[in-house]
Structure 1
Amino acid sequence: MKSTAKILIIIVTWNKKEYVIDLLNSLSVINFPREQLDILVIDNASNDGTVEALEAQFDDIEIIRNAENIGGTGGFNTGLAWAFDQPDSRYDYLWLLDNDVVVHKNALSELVTVLEENSETAIAGSTMMQLDYPWRINEMGAFVDQQNGTLVFNRHYEEISNWQGTPIDDLLVEDADLSQQLMHCQPVMDVDYVAAASLLIRAPVARQAGLWMDFFIHFDDVEWCLRIGKAGHRVAVSAKSLIWHLSAAAKVPNWILYYDNRNILYLLAKHSGDIAVNNAIRNILKKTLYYKLIGKADLAELHLQAISDFEQGLTGKKTIQLPYKFERVAEIGRILNDPSIKKIIVPWTINMQASNIQNIFVGVMKKRPELEVFYIVSPYDPQRQLPNTIPIAMPKFVVSRYIKYFRLRNQFDIALQSDYQTIFPLSWIARKNLFVNDENFCLRQAPKLSEVISLSILLVKKWFQVGK
């Protein structure tokens, strides 16, 4: 259908110059009349040359430069406030986009179709595919488990098998309708929320709903959708409107955990009530113990800070300083070449090629023939990713595996751990743990039993104080 709608596109960015350029390039070829679109980019004080690059390459966009990084919340509120200052008749819809997405040629037109064919629907969102695995769905809208404070992603991780191997640039311009690709998939579905990675809202409804709660990042768009839903409007997701976004699996949780845990408590307090908040606090306490047990004590502390700040009514941006240094994977050889490191243990859970550390290990092992590298072989796949290592076979039975890890304790200087698939007992068998992901690594001290016991006592006390 052809639409005469006038639309304001709001993009918030901070230090992601290449990503936002890719987004704007994908917007330049969408199937919607350019003269009906205004593009507003909110820059949160980037220092990577983002604004200069945008001004040099795009002469048909508006840019607002914030004096500091005020997060996704502050950035979108800047854009929304600008939109609310315009005459009521200027825009029919507002399209909110993350800076690190690329959009299908029909992404906007399909969202407009949803709103123009369904008068009760106030928000329409795109199906979010994974940018790093373009054939895989990240979420098709989502629901909120308000009793436990968790998100339930619709059709999470389902795959379009015949898209594997197709370049993302081709997928952006090919016809795509997931309701024809997936079993029992409706073209339009009601959900609790759609992410502001691609969210189209009626401009009058946005004005009535007002600005986002001051969360800095995360759960602000969820709360907005719940607020609008409570006002009697429908929130829907389209299986015909697609965007590609870097998957959450590729983003290793660190300081963001503070905002995730604090903000879900505020959301539940507003929309669910005390029982849901108490359930969520207990879930956060369990996660606190988990991070302490795997040797990420700093992240365990962030969970406790989140609860404390919620109880004190603190919102917005928090100054977070983590004690450990995160470095690029390419620099991991400096750790491996340390002469004080004699014995290293590596598990099968680390994808040596994806993280590009296989070659580094091979080079270090040639230079240091005295270095002993032990490789834990998967109980399900006997293949080894590293040559010339000392294999350690793991039994399939869980209890037997734990016993094996226990027997290996105090024999190694460093244990490598995957940030994506951490093995709890492995964190206890070496002096230090080297956590790695596809981009970064972080060297941490192994957990101490005395500290875990002290924290456990504290958490038990807090557990029974919840709700009193």
Structure 2
Amino acid sequence: MTTIPNPPRLRAPVNVDPLLPRPLASPNPANTRLVCVVSPNFNGPKDVQQLLHDLRALDLGTRSGGGALLELQAIVVDNASATPIADAVDVPDDLHVEFLRLTTNTGGAGGYSAGMARAIKRGRETGRMPEFVWLLDSDARPEPAALLALVKAMDAYPNYIVMGSAIANPDTGVVFEIGGFLDHFCGEWHPRWGEENPPPKRTVPVGYVAACSCMTRAEAIEKVGLFPDVFLKADDVEWSCRVAREMGGKVGATCDSVVTHPQWKFGETLPRYYIARNGFGAIDAMRLGARVRFFRALRELPRALAQVVIGRPDLAECHIRGLEDAAARKYWGPGAKDELVIDKFLPFEKLGEVLAPHIEQITDRRVWMHGRIRLGEQSARELAHQLEALGLDAPPIARGPFIMERERFFTGLRGGLWRLLRGPSHSIAVIPVRGRPNAWARGRIQIEVMPQGFVLRKFHRRTILRQIVSFGRRGLKAAVRIGLQHTGRTTAERLPTVDNYAYEVESIRTFEPARS
């Protein structure tokens, strides 16, 4: 059951009016209000099939004269999937769906831009422009009232240009993000409201909203432009900031529109590169200047070095390469995605096979277990079974759905540095891949785990110290270069527009609703 934050729990009020009790109505009672859904997808036909099912279940409201108040049209952008999405799904008879298949994978940013441009161009061609464009990830699951709540919030606040949903974890049902904000000091972005920090009103102003479910007025796309062509990550943050600044309106989020979406996990690999590379677009959009760009770049250094300490130079390379590409103004497209060599997680069933050759060298059979590890039931059970089969003494493993938890970076820093210099405290340690100091140098053999599997690393102090110096030098050099750039992009580079965005279309297939 999805949990909605309770406003009375708030400690500090926010200056915003409550959602006005204004009934939804069409400007012309004889017509419906057109909403165009844009959803990019790459090799995920099951997600698209479920999305189409969810769209059918949406509450479209009722006109005073009868019939649905909202008319829904969907554009599914196929990012060059191996099998065309249109061939792999069954389109319900009562949905209007257009499959826009591209010749190359343009990422989430390019997919959204292609769909947004198509929605506007089709509106021009048909003479019927959508009133709203709803950006919706194909793996997002909207509740039946999600669409109507977004439209109601947009009607209640005419000065809001973009409106986002409350995003809930599909495993726990807990809302973890209701909009976000850009820190004007260090240039990072974070969720603004959520279950742990509930908003004071049902609809609140925010700095940006996640593209996994956000609605915008169609004129914003025509006037401001499309998403920056950065492939993945931070595209929605930059776009939200530019829309609010250039149109003089606001970005908001409403608790009444709830969408579940997988929560980003710190162990994910390639997103590290894109977050490091693309983290400066929003800073430029808000004109925060060189100092904030430099501070933002510096934030990647401890993250990279922490990965080095736990034996993951491959993940450290993601952070540093992202900074180096940003310093070289290589913002666009997939970037170094195919050049980064990242170790893959192995399934827990193979832990015994991988760890067995090292068991003879171990005198202490006790396993140190990090307290913030969260694994699903099946993964935790298999990990415990593998450790027990090897005769290792491991404490209980926390079970249940994976929950991203925050902890202060400097907590345990003293102990982490001491172990790094003196040597590990245990023979074997099971740690998460976040690289926090209390996991540093815990075991001579470190088993780094995520719900999808594990990576095994051996502790070599000299190698780690050499890598710290190397990555630190590269990262600091890139941060200085980024700080010396007052802005990372020229005016012409900022956002593509509906008329100049170049994307190659392989095919367009349209499924019209059956007429009774």
TM over 0.5: yes
Query: Aligned to 1:47, what secondary structure does the other structure show?
Result: coil
* 1:84 pairs with 2:120: yes
Question: Which residue does 2:262 correspond to in 1?
Answer: 246
Choose the corresponding residue for 1:125, options 158, 164, 176. Answer: 164
Measured on the aligned residues, the alpha-carbon RMSD in Å equals 3.2
1:237 lines up with 2:253 in the alignment: yes
**Partners in 1 of 2:463 and 2:302 — Cα distance?**
18
- Matched residue, 1:347: 369
AA aligned opposite 1:278: F
1:325 matched residue in structure 2: 344
Task: Give the aligned partner of residue 362 of structure 1.
Answer: 385
Q: Which amino acid aligns with 1:200?
A: M
> Displacement, 1:399?
6.2
Task: After TM superposition, give the deviation of residue 334 of structure 1 in Å.
Answer: 3.0
Question: CA offsets per residue over residues 114-143 of structure 1, 9 Å max, x none?
Answer: 222322111111111111111x11111111
Q: Call closer, same or farther: CA 1:214–1:404 in 2, change over 3 Å.
A: closer
**8 Å contact 2:37–2:75 — kept in the other structure?**
yes
8 Å Cα contact 1:11/1:40 also seen in 2: yes
Question: Paired residue for 1:433, among 446, 456, 464?
Answer: 446
The total of aligned residue pairs comes to 421
**Structure 2: 5+ residue stretches without partners:** 1-23, 27-31, 61-67, 400-410, 485-516
The 1:411–1:210 alpha-carbon spacing in structure 2 relative to 1, beyond 3 Å, is closer
CA deviation after TM superposition for structure 1 residue 403, in Å: 6.7
2:173 corresponds to 1:151:
no
Task: Tell me the distance in 1 between the aligned counterparts of 2:342 and 2:474.
Answer: 26
Identity of aligned residues (%): 23
Task: Give the alignment partner of residue 433 of structure 2, picking from 419, 439, 450.
Answer: 419
CA displacement at 1:185 relative to structure 2: 2.6
- For 1:240 and 1:425, the matched residues in 2 are separated by 39
Give the aligned residue type for 1:326: F
CA distance in 2, matches of 1:400, 1:204: 55
Shift of 1:76: 0.6
- When the two structures are superposed, what TM-score results if normalisation uses the length of structure 1? 0.80
Counterpart of 1:212 in structure 2 is 227
Q: Matches of 1:151 and 1:103 in 2, distance apart?
A: 24
* 1:354 Cα offset (Å): 3.3
Deviations 1:4-31, CA, capped at 9 Å, x for gaps? 3111100111233333322221211111
Which residues of structure 1 form unaligned runs of 5+? 160-181, 378-382, 387-395
Question: 2:349 touches 2:386 (CA, 8 Å); kept in 1?
Answer: no
Q: Partner letter of residue 120 of structure 1?
A: N
Indicate the structure whose relative CO is greater, using CA pairs within 8 Å and at least 6 residues apart: 2
User: Are 2:58 and 1:23 aligned?
Assistant: no
SS at match of 2:343: coil
Counterpart Cα distance in 1 of 2:302 and 2:92:
49
Evaluate the alpha carbon distance shift between residue 297 and residue 63 of structure 1 in structure 2; reply closer, same or farther with a 3 A threshold: same
Contact 1:415 1:432 in 2 (8 A): yes
Structure 1 residues 449 and 425 mapped into 2: Cα distance closer, same or farther (>3 Å)? farther
1:190 is displaced (CA, Å) by 1.0
Cα deviation digits, residues 307-355 of structure 1 (max 9, x gap):
111111112212243242223334434324x344344634053346635
What do residues 183-241 of structure 1 show as CA deviations (whole Å, max 9, x unaligned)?
Answer: x6312111111111111111111111112111101111111110011120211111211
Instruction: Report what 1:448 is aligned to.
Output: 461
Residues 45 and 347 from structure 1, CA distance in 2 versus in 1: closer, same or farther, beyond 3 angstroms?
same
Change (3 A) 1:225 1:399: closer
Per the normalisation by structure 2, the TM-score is 0.73
Q: Choose from 192, 198, 206 the match for 2:207.
A: 192
Question: What is the CA distance between 1:300 and its match in structure 2?
Answer: 1.1
Aligned to 2:509: none
Name the counterpart of 2:218: 203
Q: 1:102 to 1:385 in 2, by over 3 A?
A: closer
Matches within 5 A, 1:306-317: 306-315=322-331, 316-317=333-334
Shift of 1:246: 1.0
Which residue in 2 is equivalent to 1:177?
none
Distance 1:440 1:270, change over 3 A: same
Residue equivalent to 1:38: 73
